[in-house]
Amino acid sequence: MTLDMRMRNNMFRRLPVERATGRLYGGRHRLRVVYRTRDLVVLGLGVMIGSGIFKIAGEQASSTAGPGVLVSFLIAGGVCVLAALAFAELSSIIPVAGSAYSFAYVAFGEVWAWVVGWALIMELLLAASVLARVWSLYATQALHDFGVPIPSGLGDLIGQQKGPDVFAFGILLLVVLMLAGGSRMSLRSLWFMVLAKVIVIGLVIATALKFFHPGNLTPFLPPSRPAPAGDRTVLDAVLGAVGGGTPHAFGTWGMLAAAPAIAFAYIGFDLIATASEETDDAPRKVPRGILTALVTAIVLYVAVAFALVGMVGMDGIARLNPDKLLLAAAFDSVGAGAMGKIVDVGAMLALTTVILVLMISLTRVVFSISRDGLLPRPLAAMSRYKVPSRATLVAGGAAVVMSQTIDVLTLEQLVVIGSLFAFLFVAAAVPALRRSRPDLHRPFRMPAAPLVVLVTIVAVGWLMLNLNVQTWGYFAVWMGVGLVLYMVYGRRKSQMRLLLDTPPERPVAARLAPAPPPGMIPPPGMAPPPGPRDAYSSPGPYGTGTRPAEHRSGAPESPYPTGRYPAGRQPGGQFARDPRPGGRAPEQYPSGRADDPYALDPGVPDPYGPRGGHGQSGEHQEPPHGGRHRR
């Protein structure tokens, strides 16, 4: 088997960076450029700040970490910052819509790219379905809090844990139609909703600090005690098998155990990378957007956690009304019930932005995988709005069906494991690409890469071990289905394989026209027959051949035939400009080419100045494009 055949059939064939970024052929970057740095920050805040900011701190403080949950937020944030550094470097050299999928394709090969892309599809599809259900629950609660009566016919069709739900269906349908109509409208809507929910968060923090009591933060690390019975994590199973230990809550171990659950709140910064093809100057702006959005989200989460725990304390949180949003119930307990209604509105806005960004990212990942042929190519078709409308409609339809037929709220941890799985590959891709492609320009570089990459992989692996055993089982089934799909369809339809199967084009020589009769003037474009007057002329009406150098001792070959232009050279060795009307100007010939009739003799200055072009005044002018567009 030849090398080409092995490459075509090899599942580990890698996508060249130049092809991934569209530098070798046109049309890859067909998405409309709509994002700036601040838009990317809003995109990240839109997905990272959801309803979890109003409840996750209270849940983990009362059940796992106590006031030490503040440190848990910082631990989880630190792990995500490490992963974000890897995303920032790879986004600066491979700014494409596929994000982790494309990074794995370039660094490790096709089958690994498919595995990562399939995990991303699971994560984003399931997350959109889960949050649509949660949106329905909060919308129903908000209607109840505001005293809005619910028609009896809708009582069993809204705010349901599973089964058909009108609110979940409606919010997904609205988002899908908005995205199918173009990115600009969705971006303006996202700006409005993110600003509104940030204002709500500011009001929550300011109001909670009025009821702040330092005593609610002590003891900062409550005494450790056995955790309540529940789903065992993989780490619990390993520790139990090795040492016979049991899970514990509170204390140092509880503070560490809360970090994996909190990391779920920060997941979403990686989705900013899926907007790379729609961002101007993406290699610089996308890394900035990723890191700025993540740091901002960490600050807001820690501030809300500090205000909530300081307002009611760990024991007070455990006594709150479980039927209401935790933060709204906390305000009710201190006599600030009006803030509870504002929290309801903020939670609905927050969830709407999360669903919107999740669907944007899902469609871009599906678009990128389809463009490479691993999913049906028609899904990569663009609409007149320069958005992948087919991918949007198909992905949105799948999310709607999943939200209405599956008990998705029980599968929430699958979203986390899909994200963390992609984080592992992205972190490992940094040293892999530095080793295989050290020549690539990296506008952003991960500091102390070997050490930071190792710490990132260990930290992300530890978070994955804190997911329950059932989640790992479901994830294994999903990945098994994905591998079967790749072997049956993607491996055969891959654009990389089709590209390698296509034989290289060879130039075909044109047939020679018959020579004209003697004495006849040849038509334009036909070479005259060689004669004694100009035996060294090249074919063409004027001739561009050369005479041997021995006819002009000490001078280079002349591109003009002797006798045609007797004054073919100016004093000093510079060729004269073409006197023919419409002749080529010297600047049209790149300096140094063998066929450049205006090339200088070695050591002779150019009287016309630099070759970048001359205006009417004779001064040197820059090309019409910047250096990035020069050929």
Q: Which of 108-117, 346-355, 425-434, 548-557 shows the lowest per-residue confidence on average (mean pLDDT)?
A: 548-557
> What are the structure tokens assigned to 200, written together?
């709500």
The segment with the largest mean pLDDT, out of 125-134, 210-219, 523-532, 535-544, is 125-134
Per the model's pLDDT, the better-predicted residue between 186 and 329 turns out to be: 329
* Whether pLDDT at 296 is above 50: yes
The DSSP annotation for 330-392 comes to HHHHTT-HHHHHHHHHHHHHHHHHHHHHHHHHHHHHHHHHHHTTSS-GGGG---TTSS-HHHH
Side chain identity at residue 133, one-letter code:
R
CA gap 56, 163 in Å, rounded: 26
Q: Is the model more confident about 482 or about 548?
A: 482
For residue 110, give both structure tokens. 């096709």
- Comparing 56 with 591, the larger pLDDT belongs to 56
- Cβ-in-10-Å burial (0-12, 13-18, 19+) of 524 comes to exposed
Tokens matching residue 523 = 């038509």
pLDDT digits (tens, 9 = 90+) for 188-239: 888 988 999 899 999 989 999 999 988 888 888 888 777 666 556 777 677 6
Determine the pLDDT at residue 65: 85
pLDDT band at 581; cut points 50, 70, 90: very low
- Please spell the DSSP secondary structure of 125-156, one letter per residue: HHHHHHHHHHHHHHHHHHHHHTT----GGGTT
299 pLDDT tier (thresholds 50, 70, 90): very high
Ramachandran area for residue 315 (φ above 0: left; ψ -120 to 50: alpha; else beta) = alpha
For domain 31-501, give its CATH number from 3.30.300.90, 1.20.1740.10, 1.10.10.10, 3.30.980.20.
1.20.1740.10
Q: Check pLDDT > 50 for residue 328.
A: yes
136-169 burial, b at 16+ Cβ within 10 Å, e below that, comes to bbbbbbbbebeeeeeeeeeeebbbbeeeebebbb
**What is the pLDDT, as a whole number, of residue 518?**
57
Q: What integer is the mean pLDDT of 411-415?
A: 87
Overall residue count recorded for the chain in this entry = 631
**494-518 residue pLDDT tens:** 888 777 665 555 554 445 455 555 5
Given a cut of 50, whether residue 538 has pLDDT beyond it is no
- In this model, does residue 294 exceed pLDDT 90? yes
Buried b (16+ CB within 10 A) or exposed e, 258-291: bbbbbbbbbbbbbbbbbbbbbbeebbbbbbbbbb
pLDDT at 27 over 50: no
Residue boundaries of the structural domains of the chain:
31-501
At residue 585 the predicted structure's pLDDT band, cuts being 50, 70 and 90, is very low
pLDDT, mean of residues 548-562: 42
Q: Which amino acid, one-letter code, is at 135?
A: W
Q: Give residue 30's pLDDT.
A: 61
Q: How confident is the model at residue 574 (pLDDT cuts 50, 70, 90)?
A: very low
Q: How many whole angstroms separate alpha carbon 489 and alpha carbon 245? A: 46
The whole-model pTM stands at: 0.75
pLDDT in tens, 393-408: 999 999 999 999 998 8
Q: Residue 155 pLDDT > 50, yes or no?
A: yes
Q: Is the pLDDT of residue 369 over 70?
A: yes
Confidence of residue 592 (pLDDT cuts 50, 70, 90): very low
Mean predicted lDDT score pLDDT of the chain: 77
Give the pLDDT of residue 559. Answer: 40
The strand ranges marked E within 68-178 are: none
User: 204 or 152: which carries more pLDDT confidence?
Assistant: 204
Residue 172 has pLDDT above 90, yes or no: yes
